[in-house]
Structure 1
Amino acid sequence: MPHLAELLTPLRRRLLKWLHGPHMLAFLPALSLAGFWLGGEAGLLTVALLLPLLYLTLGRRGDALHPVEPRSILPGLADAAMAQDMADQMLLRARAASLATGCLMLEAEGLETVARRAGSETAEELRDLLLTRLRGLLRRDDIAVRTGDSRFMVLFGPSLRLDLEALLALADRMQRGLEEPAETATGVHYISVAIGFCGMNRLKDGASGARLIEAAQIALTEALANGPSAIRAWTETMRAERSARQSLLHEVDRALAKGQIQPWFQPQLCTSTGRISGVEALARWIHPERGIVPPGQFLPALEAAGQMDRLGEVILQHSLTALRGWDDQGLDIPRVSVNFSAAELRNPHLLDRIRWELDRFGLPPARLGVEVLETVIADCPEGVVARNIMGLSRLGCQIDLDDFGTGHASITALRRFPVNRLKIDRSFVSRVDRDEDQQRMMAAILGLAERLNLQTLGEGVEGLGEHALLAQLGCDHVQGFGVARPMAAAALADWARAHARRIAEAPNLGRATG
């Protein structure tokens, strides 16, 4: 049978909640009058002395049931079970006192980069500093712990007012405090902090601590997707969107296994001759019911699931198969360029895999273009990524620096890495035939490339005017919807034949004619 204390615990909690509630003030005069009526002055004194004693006794026991750990003995790093237990206790305390609590999840962006550049000890020092700063911004009853390498959790002690406006103000205050420059032995570091939060009043009655934390984490995910230093509050819509993303993740995983995700190819033209100088392989999901699913919808799901390396293998195999097939058809397509994600470039076995694939298809390495984002080169000057890029270049693959101009690659980085071609981002190409500022910017980029002996390709060419002006300015290659949209391998073969006929009929097409 249950112990008597266990049976009395719910009663004690209800009585404690009643004693803490604001309605208690309305009952005090009535209780005092009843005591005086029944027992005269002795009854009045009994009520006056008994109520504070009962309040203190039950209050102490209630606190023992739901203790608040002193900040000095809180763990620095809490696992999921510990965090949920803390949230459960905070919710119990808030409900017992008819008050409110809330949860903030914070992500310190940039610690991984600090670890790569300044070492893991510096990154750990910054984690400790951020936790100290965070706790210094809180009240005595609030709790702050670290729940991951760069993630922190805050639980607010029971408060009378923790609505959306109050939580947003608190989140903003904490963000400003945490984003102050942090100085270590390796220099001054600037960390941005994204925040997602949820108040208990936005959840259904009786929601658990796990549910409160989950809601704050969903809001944090939305914040991280909206750029650095974003703050987002949880809404029910976010839950539905997350459920849809998880469903998409399961679908896209099956799509990879079934071969539904394949490369489509977009031609690249030489501005001097007008001929095809290569094609870029772009992932497309051919869904049996929804048709073509845009990459912007499924690539984030694959990245979140850690499947980018697997996607890279699929795209590479299909791309080399297509290139081999075009050769067999007598088509002149010099090379195929494949985008390599940061996850792929971190694979220590990447070089062996590429060498094996090229040998299997009987293709020389020069016919494979390796497209690397500018941010990857800037963020990974050393380590596995750098060794893989250097190794692929020594193997004979052509290295393209993708989206040039949108990141922060320096001239030093361009000289350190064996880059063969700059792919100039479409933001510099758009309206270049009509905007003088765009023309001056493009001329500067092309001049830099020429001095560094690098080939250039303009991305996102939409019309003949942009195509013609890029040719006049000296851009070596162009790519975009103004040339051709991405297409399947068979369709690309038909397009290439038709384009070769057009070139034969107009031999002067290209840079020389403007």
Structure 2
Amino acid sequence: ELSAAIAHNPAAQGFGSSIQASIGAASFPRDALDVHDLMKWADMALYAAKRAGRGCARLFEVGMRDDADCRAATRAAIRHALIADEMFVVYQPIATIATPQPMGFEALLRWRANDGAIQTPATFGDVFEDDRTAAEIGTFVLTQVLDQITRWNSAGVPFQSIAINATLGDFRSSNFVDRIVEEVDAGRLRGEQLCVEITEGMLLDRGARAVRQSIDRLHSRGIQVAFDDFGTGFASLTHLRQLPISRVKIDKSFIEAICADHKDRVIVKSVIDLAHQLGISVVAEGVEDAEQALLLRSMACDRIQGFLISPGIGEVEAARLARINEAPRAG
């Protein structure tokens, strides 16, 4: 009933609004006998509600304690992995499909586990809900990328920019933005060589104010800001109007069936046209075959990213691809 009441928002002065709340609850005396434990279990239920999606409500269940213990163990394992050099970064190319331009890259985190298996954030993404762990991972990735940019600049590797995925933990930790600003101000980094990717969820959370302030600081130093997974949220257009966004990345869910689904084609073409009218470049994610690439080219999409070009690769192979991409332009 509380969720429904919050979601019911009558129009004010002709303008509608959409508000949704995630709710977690624990009950006395079933779940706990003191306020401290009740609040702890209610908070645990709230995390479960957030993971279930917007507007969900969850009551505390005993099984949630096991989930919390598992997440705590994963956080500890990740901190150990950072110390033991088990974490590393790969670079997925972002290529133009019309006018020849230097290739860009997205830095992707990987974890080489004890058994030798390579894990992606999809398998341990829950740890990013913990600001401290998220900030530690963000610091690691940022360090790797800044060092990579320095090495490529010294070696004359032609590249447009390297994009990194920011989290709320990054923006709540002043060190993340402060370090980027310091690198630019010291002349060790050209602003256009780094792109910080954000998602809409970061702008709807209680940390949204810190994110907006950080975006403004980054923009003032020429750092590009990209809107990742564009089209999957509820207020994407509002954020395009309010924030200094340099690039939108159309979510792969719109690209998968773009050749067969008329509605997806209309949506993608509309996003591209709108973004260009606002002076924003467009990257299509999840491009896997030439037919998709040709269709996106006909729609004037600026860049594509996906397995058609390459999966995430090491720095040596990434530099090789960047040089190959540059060769026709030099000739």
TM range (shorter): 0.7 to 0.9
1:234 corresponding residue in structure 2: 61
Aligned to 2:161: 335
- In the TM superposition, what is the alpha-carbon distance from 1:411 to its structure 2 partner? 4.2
Q: Helix, strand or coil: the match of 2:5?
A: coil
1:174-193 superposed matches below 5 A: 176-177=1-2, 179-181=4-6, 191-193=21-23
Structure 1 residue 392: Cα displacement:
1.1
Task: State which of 172, 176, 200 in structure 2 corresponds to 1:374.
Answer: 200
Percent of counterpart pairs with the same letter? 27
TM-score by length of 1: 0.54
User: Is contact 2:225–2:244 with CA below 8 Å preserved after alignment?
Assistant: yes
Query: Bigger shift: 376-385 or 306-315?
Result: 376-385
Partner of 1:362: 188
User: How much does 1:296 deviate?
Assistant: 1.9
2:202 and 2:165 mapped to 1: Cα distance? 12
Q: Is contact 1:457-1:475 (8 Å) kept? A: yes
Q: Which has the higher contact order (CA 8 A, sep 6+)?
A: 2
Structure in which a larger fraction of residues adopt helix: 1
Shift of 1:357: 3.0
1:388 matched to which residue of 2? 214
TM-superposed CA distance for 1:345, in Å, is 2.3
State the SS of the aligned residue for 1:248: helix
- TM superposition shift of 1:480: 1.1
String of CA shifts for 1:135-170, please: whole Å, max 9, x gaps: xxxxxxxxxxxxxxxxxxxxxxxxxxxxxxxxxxxx
- 2:93 and 2:232 mapped to 1: Cα distance? 23
Aligned residues: 320
1:159 maps to none
For residues 351 and 220 of structure 1, the distance between their equivalents in structure 2, rounded to whole angstroms, comes to 29
Question: Secondary structure of 2:279's match?
Answer: coil
SS in 2 for 1:469: helix
Output the CA distance in 2 between the equivalents of 1:442 and 1:291.
Answer: 36
TM-score computed with the length of structure 2 as normaliser: 0.81
Bigger radius of gyration:
1
Q: Is residue 442 from structure 1 mapped to residue 285 from structure 2 by the alignment?
A: no
2:288 maps to which of 441, 447, 462 = 462
Mapping 1:307-346, distance limit 5 Å: 307-346=133-172
SS at match of 1:225: helix
Unaligned runs of 5+ in 2: none
Code of the residue aligned with 1:489 in structure 2: it is E
Aligned partners of 1:432 and 1:438 also within 8 Å: yes
Q: Which residue does 1:84 correspond to in 2?
A: none
Letter in 1 for 2:157: L
- In 1, distance between residues paired with 2:112 and 2:193? 27
SS of residue in 2 equivalent to 1:307: helix
Q: Is the Cα–Cα contact under 8 Å of residues 23 and 46 in structure 2 kept in the other structure? A: no
Distance 1:197-1:273 versus aligned 2 partners, 3 A rule:
farther
Contact 2:74-2:124 within 8 A present in 1 as well: yes
Displacement of 1:312 in angstroms is 1.6
The unaligned stretches of length 5 or more in structure 1 are 1-175, 508-514
In structure 1, C-alpha distance between the alignment counterparts of 2:7 and 2:101, rounded to whole Å: 54
Deviations 1:208-238 (A, max 9, x none): 858x9688876664444222324467365x5
2:223 maps to which residue?
Answer: 397
Task: Report the 3-state secondary structure (helix = DSSP H, G, I; strand = E; otherwise coil) of the residue aligned with 2:283.
Answer: strand
Task: Give the secondary-structure state (helix, strand or coil) at the position aligned to 1:296.
Answer: helix
CA distance in 2, matches of 1:190, 1:244: 28
Change (3 A) 1:409 1:330: same
**1:181 CA displacement:** 3.8
SS at match of 2:275: helix
Amino acid of the residue matched to residue 456 of structure 1? V
Counterpart CA distance in 2 for 1:381 and 1:196 is: 24
SS at match of 2:179: helix
Q: 1:23-72 deviations in whole A, cap 9, x for unaligned?
A: xxxxxxxxxxxxxxxxxxxxxxxxxxxxxxxxxxxxxxxxxxxxxxxxxx
Root-mean-square deviation (CA, aligned residues, Å) is 3.6
CA, structure 1 residues 226+476, in 2 after alignment: closer, same or farther (shift >3 Å)?
same
Is the alpha carbon distance of 1:368 and 1:193 closer, same or farther for their aligned partners in structure 2, counting shifts above 3 Å? Answer: same
Residue 257 of structure 1 deviates from its aligned partner by: 2.6
